[in-house]
Amino acid sequence: MEHIDTIRALRARLAPLRAGGARVALVPTMGALHAGHLSLVKEARQRAEAVVVSIFVNPTQFDDPSDLAKYPRTLDADLAACRDAGVDFVFCPTAQEMYPDGADTSVTVGALAEPLCGATRPGHFRGVATVVAKLLGAVAPQVAVFGEKDFQQLAVIRRMARDLLLDVEIVGAPTVREPDGLALSSRNARLDPEARGQALALVRALDAAEARVAAGERDATALLGEVRAELSRAPRAVVDYAELRDPDTLEPAPARLEAPTLLALAVFLRPAAGGPDPGVRLIDNRVLPLQTQTRGDES
């Protein structure tokens, strides 16, 4: 495994591999790697001969400077994890490398970036789309792998790649969870034991909604009422959003659900001591598997 800090050096190392016909896969990360990230590496390895993991805490996607400052940085452990996972190249650029003096171009994706995290984190997806476009430009992979836990991010990146005619396959990999169901996230490390327990309210809310749909519930208001009731059982949880959306367009779901529907959640787990800190923000989602009724099934 090679640890590389500059775009020039990375391109120089990838060039002979490409010339020999090797496919290159990119797994973009912000570090603090966990089993979820390593599942993306495994997916990338199945699709390419050379795997590049980028580790870069991108400042332009943080709307809150304190959130950027608190984001975990564990480079030594990350490099060891990448080595154990068989990564070929770890690309760890500086902010100066990614945003050189005078850089004045950003990428904005339209409607897909506006709801959910886009509505509550101004500029977030502009920062995401811009840095991913830069990473794709630097690495020029044939495939790039992202986690489905960040459902909206994956949708935004797919749209960006399509709209900008980028010659790369964007692959979504399933969410990896702890044994108790909590989605793996680098932010989980910031949860104290009580908050960690209350974070399971997200999983219970998703499970409750799926159970209601399986039992025949189709009323969107009733489903969201069940979801919010479950989240309210966690005293330190503050709901950022709980919404039902079309999984392809991210447009609001109809009042009566008629097709598979995305349930997207974002919750802050407040500090035990209170104060102005909003706490640790966690997201999760599930596509509720509604089955459309066929004419032959009608009674």
Residue where the block lists tokens 């409750």 = 208
With 0-12 CB in 10 A as exposed, 13-18 as middle and 19+ as buried, what is 17?
A: middle
Question: Does the annotation count 3 as an active-site position?
Answer: no
Residue where the block lists tokens 């797919």 = 158
3, 34, 37, 124: the active-site residue = 37
User: How far is it, in rounded angstroms, from Cα 27 to Cα 50?
Assistant: 11
User: How far is it, in rounded angstroms, from Cα 252 to Cα 254?
Assistant: 6
User: How far is it, in rounded angstroms, from Cα 58 to Cα 153?
Assistant: 14
Active site residues: 37
